[in-house]
Chains A and B, each alone.
Chain A
Amino acid sequence: MPDPRKVLVIDDEVHIRRVIEVILKKRGYEVITAKNGEEGLEAIRSLQPDAVISDIRMPKLDGEALCKMVNPLKEFRSFLTVIMTARISPDEQKWIDGMKDTIFMEKPFSPLRLADCIDRYFEDKLMNT
């Protein structure tokens, strides 16, 4: 049994972190949580997660800035980023499209679909290698 995949959940809303944590743990992932962009950035750098689920509107460092900061890291070690937010504008879609391995999921979201999405990403990755 290999080491479980690490998924980082960044959201300022405790209940969202909790529900994602519950479902992903059930699917066998190791879940790390962060309350804001700053904490998330720190966790990405130190814990090297295999997938990141992030909100956009957050205190300290927002999701957009965080993604732009970690995007260059994907050159060396690819990981999935799922942007989850309550609203999206064409401008936001544009910058999301510019990121590597980044998908967008609108809130309110389905935890089941999110978990399936992450499962599929890792399955595809496994098949490609």
Chain B
Amino acid sequence: MRLKQVSVAFAVLFLLCMALLLYFLVRSEERNRIKEVEDRGTYLVSLVSLYSIDDFKADNRHFLLKSIAEYTANTGLIYLYVHDSGGKQIMSLDSTNISESIPPEIQTRSLASQGFVRQSFRPGGSGETAHEFAKPVLEKGSRTGTVRIGLRPLPVQLFSLERVSFLSMIAFFIFAALVLFYYGVIAALKPLKDVHSSLKNAVESGAFPADAPKGGQFLPVVEELKKSLTQVKSKLGSIGEENISLASRLGVIQFEKKLQSKILDAIGQGIIVTDLQGHIHLINDSMLKLLGRKSEEVLDSPVEKVLDRDDIRPLFTEDSGRVRDSIEVTFPDASPGEVFQASSSDLLDGDRTVIARLFMIKNITSRKKSEEVQHDFIAHVAHELRTPLTNIKSYGEMLMIGEITDEEMRKEFYNTINEETNRLTGMIQNILNISKIEMGSLTPNKGLVHTDWFVDGCLTSIDAAARDKQIAIERKLPDVFPSLIADKELLKAAIINILGNAIKYTPEKGRITFSIGEVNGYVNFEVTDTGHGISPEDLPHIFEKFYRSGQNSIKEQVGSGLGLAITSEIVRLHGGEIEVHSEPGAGSQFIIRIPKEDYFIARS
């Protein structure tokens, strides 16, 4: 329907254009004719005025008229008048007898003019325009007459042969252009049609009516395109929503990835994950630090180039094996003495196919150290325990086989067995205490402690060792012994540890002073020796577990590095404190202060 209207409108428009074109063509032709008339008039008047006036006289003019007739054929000549110098008409060529309709002022002006003159007029009020060209005839410098020529433009034929053929040519071109345009549009729409059909397939919703509306081929295409565009629009909307959800999922994934890499960085171990070709896919901060490299330098490069070391290479060159042997290695960039354990394993997928390889480097320095410390501790404890055991066994055997016959000596042997049993008990107590301290479960079992018996017990346990080294033990004891609330066994262990150290680190024939006193609600136990003393470097560390001085005079003595740690813990559990004064080479003084605490409450 619409196409019909469009075609009609188009046809009207086409005709209008053609008419307009025709009009302009005619106008242009007319203008050309006028121009032509002007040119010809000027030429003719000039030509005719060249003749002598005598030639126009009646007897001579047959030759002249002949040539004029040749010149003026088909030129639209209306009239030719020749006037003599007096203004009298001496010749007239006027086929249509037009002289009556020429306005008189035209003639007057032409005769009066001294040179060429051109005038236009409408003869007898008709629609046509006539043009008069006038020029004087000059002979020997004087005017002998005037030539007047009247010309009319040749009428323009509306449908001349050329014009019709020109117009039909234009019409043909327009028609051809239209046809070309139509097929051009069809060709241009072809991909759109294809797009539409593929869109239709893609969208898969709302199939088009198979019978597209008739009346042209554009409309169904446009309709379908419109439909498709609507579908595309709705699809775009849903894609936009999907995009948003994808973007948020991507954000979550990126966050997870960042989190994972941060977790990997937070792990104290160096980690490298490689693909199956051995190219580094992932590397954490610890590993980069260990290698002294930057992430961008090593990512995607082969792991054997990054870790180019003969000792580590077997870990990633071996093909099979899920968990490979670990290797102990050191790194030049690490602090001296640091030991690392390098290991590699395959990362498996759910179906147990290898998807990547994991390579780890773990700092095992502290583990090694603690293993060493533990080993030393056990060796030391075993040795310490064996000493009293050896004594008890050998002394017992001597008594058993009846080797000892002397009564005094037998007493001495029994006494030694007793002392050594006490020593063994004390050692076992110390070991138990250490284990309780380690577990954080050492709790004092407090009761009233009378310090007189207590001090005796402490000093007796070191008597033998002191006698052996000829160390004098000076006791500075008060007349009235203070009492306090404490765990007797723990406190005794603490004080024996201090006394034992004093014996151990005091050279032979030295002196140890032990005193006890009550000051400001505290019971003070003081042990002063004339030993090697403690160096200022060691002093801040002496209560640390397993700390052993680097000094030779201390190192040559066997020890676990636990005695003072136990002592300080016991003192702490009693709410007390330990004060240490020491002068290297002169001796040390340890003061243990234990609060009397709720002694009075306990007694009441």
Is there an interface contact between A22 and B383, defined as CB atoms closer than 8 Å? no
Is there an interface contact between A110 and B394, defined as CB atoms closer than 8 Å? yes
- Decide: A57 near B398, CB < 8 A? Known: A13-B391, A15-B416, A16-B391: no
A80 proximal to B (CB < 8 A): no
Range class of the A interface residue count: 20 to 34
Q: Among A19, A26, A111, find the residue whose CB has the most chain B CB atoms closer than 10 A.
A: A19
B382 proximal to A (CB < 8 A): yes
From 366 to 390 in chain B, residues with beta carbon under 8 angstroms from any chain A beta carbon are 379, 382-383, 386-387, 389-390
* Cβ-neighbour of A19 out of B379, B382, B389, B398 (below 8 A): B398
Task: Please give me the residue from chain A that is nearest to B417 by CB atom.
Answer: A15
* Cβ-neighbour of B379 out of A14, A15, A23, A87 (below 8 A): A87
* Cβ-neighbour of A23 out of B387, B403, B467, B508 (below 8 A): B403
- Decide: A26 near B403, CB < 8 A? Known: A60-B556, A86-B390, A110-B394: yes
- Decide: A87 near B557, CB < 8 A? Known: A22-B403, A108-B390, A111-B394: no
In the assembled complex, which residues on chain B have CB atoms less than 8 Å from the CB atom of A18?
416
Task: Please give me the residue from chain A that is nearest to B409 by CB atom.
Answer: A22
Is there an interface contact between A23 and B398, defined as CB atoms closer than 8 Å? yes
Minimum Cβ distance to chain B for residue A16 (Å): 7
* Cβ-neighbour of A107 out of B379, B390, B401, B467 (below 8 A): B390
- Decide: A22 near B558, CB < 8 A? Known: A14-B464, A16-B390, A87-B383: no
A109 proximal to B (CB < 8 A): yes
* Cβ-neighbour of A22 out of B382, B389, B398, B467 (below 8 A): B398
Minimum Cβ distance to chain B for residue A64 (Å): 14
A70 proximal to B (CB < 8 A): no
In the assembled complex, which residues on chain A have CB atoms less than 8 Å from the CB atom of B401?
112
What CA separation (Å) do A18 and B393 show in the bound complex? Answer: 14
What CA separation (Å) do A106 and B469 show in the bound complex? Answer: 25
Minimum Cβ distance to chain A for residue B534 (Å): 18
Is there an interface contact between A110 and B403, defined as CB atoms closer than 8 Å? no
Is there an interface contact between B557 and A59, defined as CB atoms closer than 8 Å? yes
Minimum Cβ distance to chain A for residue B396 (Å): 10
Is there an interface contact between A108 and B389, defined as CB atoms closer than 8 Å? yes
Number of A-B contacts (CB under 8 A): 67
Minimum Cβ distance to chain A for residue B561 (Å): 16
Minimum Cβ distance to chain B for residue A122 (Å): 19
- Decide: A14 near B465, CB < 8 A? Known: A19-B394, A111-B397, A111-B398: yes
Task: Please give me the residue from chain A that is nearest to B389 by CB atom.
Answer: A108
B395 proximal to A (CB < 8 A): yes
Minimum Cβ distance to chain B for residue A53 (Å): 12
In the assembled complex, which residues on chain B have CB atoms less than 8 Å from the CB atom of A16?
390-391, 394
Is there an interface contact between A15 and B420, defined as CB atoms closer than 8 Å? yes
B468 proximal to A (CB < 8 A): yes
Task: Please give me the residue from chain B that is nearest to A114 by CB atom.
Answer: B394
How many residues of chain B have a CB within 8 Å of chain A?
A: 29
From 51 to 109 in chain A, residues with beta carbon under 8 angstroms from any chain B beta carbon are 57, 59-60, 86-87, 107-109
What CA separation (Å) do A35 and B386 show in the bound complex? Answer: 18
In the assembled complex, which residues on chain B have CB atoms less than 8 Å from the CB atom of A15?
391, 395, 416, 420, 464
In the assembled complex, which residues on chain B have CB atoms less than 8 Å from the CB atom of A110?
393-394, 397
What CA separation (Å) do A65 and B465 show in the bound complex? Answer: 25
What CA separation (Å) do A108 and B424 show in the bound complex? Answer: 14
B404 proximal to A (CB < 8 A): yes
Minimum Cβ distance to chain B for residue A10 (Å): 14
* Cβ-neighbour of A86 out of B382, B465, B467, B469 (below 8 A): B382
Task: Please give me the residue from chain B that is nearest to A27 by CB atom.
Answer: B403
Minimum Cβ distance to chain B for residue A34 (Å): 12
What CA separation (Å) do A35 and B508 show in the bound complex? Answer: 11
From 107 to 128 in chain A, residues with beta carbon under 8 angstroms from any chain B beta carbon are 107-112
What CA separation (Å) do A87 and B389 show in the bound complex? Answer: 13
In the assembled complex, which residues on chain B have CB atoms less than 8 Å from the CB atom of A26?
403
What CA separation (Å) do A106 and B69 show in the bound complex? Answer: 168
Is there an interface contact between B387 and A22, defined as CB atoms closer than 8 Å? no
What CA separation (Å) do A119 and B155 show in the bound complex? Answer: 171
In the assembled complex, which residues on chain A have CB atoms less than 8 Å from the CB atom of B469?
35
Minimum Cβ distance to chain B for residue A71 (Å): 22
In the assembled complex, which residues on chain A have CB atoms less than 8 Å from the CB atom of B465?
14
Minimum Cβ distance to chain A for residue B508 (Å): 8
Task: Please give me the residue from chain A that is nearest to B553 by CB atom.
Answer: A59
Minimum Cβ distance to chain A for residue B417 (Å): 9
What CA separation (Å) do A108 and B389 show in the bound complex? Answer: 7
What CA separation (Å) do A22 and B402 show in the bound complex? Answer: 12
Is there an interface contact between B387 and A86, defined as CB atoms closer than 8 Å? yes
Is there an interface contact between A112 and B387, defined as CB atoms closer than 8 Å? no
Minimum Cβ distance to chain A for residue B463 (Å): 11
What CA separation (Å) do A18 and B464 show in the bound complex? Answer: 12
What CA separation (Å) do A31 and B393 show in the bound complex? Answer: 21
Task: Please give me the residue from chain B that is nearest to A35 by CB atom.
Answer: B468
Minimum Cβ distance to chain B for residue A115 (Å): 9
In the assembled complex, which residues on chain B have CB atoms less than 8 Å from the CB atom of A35?
468-469, 508
From 460 to 484 in chain B, residues with beta carbon under 8 angstroms from any chain A beta carbon are 464-465, 467-469
Task: Please give me the residue from chain A that is nearest to B469 by CB atom.
Answer: A35
What CA separation (Å) do A60 and B469 show in the bound complex? Answer: 14
Is there an interface contact between B386 and A14, defined as CB atoms closer than 8 Å? no
From 388 to 446 in chain B, residues with beta carbon under 8 angstroms from any chain A beta carbon are 389-395, 397-398, 401, 403-404, 409, 416, 420
Is there an interface contact between B556 and A59, defined as CB atoms closer than 8 Å? yes
Task: Please give me the residue from chain A that is nearest to B406 by CB atom.
Answer: A22
In the assembled complex, which residues on chain B have CB atoms less than 8 Å from the CB atom of A111?
394, 397-398, 403
What CA separation (Å) do A112 and B397 show in the bound complex? Answer: 8
In the assembled complex, which residues on chain B have CB atoms less than 8 Å from the CB atom of A108?
386, 389-390, 392-394
Minimum Cβ distance to chain A for residue B114 (Å): 153
- 17 CB contacts below 8 A, A to B, read A13-B387, A14-B464, A15-B420, A16-B394, A19-B398, A23-B398, A23-B403, A35-B469, A59-B556, A59-B557, A86-B386, A87-B383, A87-B386, A107-B387, A107-B390, A111-B398, A112-B397
- Not counting A14-B464, A19-B395, A19-B398, a sample of 7 additional A-B residue pairs whose C-beta atoms are within 8 angstroms of each other reads A14-B465, A15-B416, A16-B391, A35-B508, A107-B390, A110-B397, A111-B403
The 9 A-B residue pairs with the shortest CB-CB distance, nearest first, are A14-B468, A86-B386, A108-B390, A108-B393, A15-B391, A107-B390, A59-B556, A19-B394, A111-B394
